[in-house]
Amino acid sequence: MFDLDLAARLAQASLDLGGGVDAGLVLGEARFRSGRHAEAEAVLAAMVPRCRTDAELARIANARAHNFHNLLADPGRATAVLDEALAVITDPAPRRQLLGRLATIKVFEPDLEGALAAAAPLLASDDDVMISRGAFVSSIALAMFGRSEESVPVAYRGLDSARRASGLA
């Protein structure tokens, strides 16, 4: 469906001509979507010193954490990448993006307490996308704790937020 080799060549050409973090992100994603996970990590890690904004750093850290957790089966490295980025990112929106990734990793490892802690700021936000992600994680964690009386209302809150975020409400 997608020509990942072409995407990688164009992203590499952009980087070679002075392209920024976005070009590196596209190249890294093309690499990991092509099954070249170690190469993707090398590209993405090389972008970290080039990041000038919290949003750029969050996008790179999010991609690296996805690659480590979902593709390289290394949740420890994924969590370390997120912890490093969260230690320096102060802008609330990029922080929430990374907390969403961290909460998702933790619920499936499972570190249910950690998942609930990471999801709490998402649920407290006024961003429906983040609320729905926080509710997704929290409802699973609460259910896994056997706390269905809390899990179900949280799941419905997430559904309502997801509908608003997608324009379906």
pLDDT of residue 2: 78
- CATH 1.25.40 is right for the domain spanning 94-169: yes
Mean pLDDT of the chain: 96
pLDDT of residue 168: 86
Report the distance separating Cα 129 and Cα 102, nearest Å: 15
- CATH 1.25.40 is right for the domain spanning 1-90: yes
1-90 against 94-169: fold identical: yes
Name the amino acid, one letter, at 140.
I
- Give the count of alpha carbons within 13 A of 65, CB side only: 25
| Residues 4-27, mean pLDDT to the nearest whole number | 94
**pLDDT tens for each residue of 129-139:** 999 999 999 99
- Give the count of alpha carbons within 13 A of 23, CB side only: 13
**pLDDT tens for each residue of 40-71:** 999 999 999 999 999 999 999 999 999 999 99
pLDDT of residue 1: 44
What are the tokens at 65?
A: 């954490």
Q: Provide the residue ranges of all domains of the chain, joining segments of one domain with +.
A: 1-90, 94-169
User: Global pTM?
Assistant: 0.92
Report the distance separating Cα 65 and Cα 71, nearest Å: 9
**pLDDT tens for each residue of 134-157:** 999 999 999 999 999 999 999 999
The answer to whether 15 and 47 are in contact (CB under 8 A) is no
Of all residues in the chain, what percent carry a pLDDT higher than 90?
A: 98
Q: Give me the phi and psi of 17, to 5 degrees please.
A: -95, 15
The answer to whether 91 and 54 are in contact (CB under 8 A) is yes
Check whether 114 has a pLDDT greater than 90: yes
The answer to whether 64 and 45 are in contact (CB under 8 A) is yes
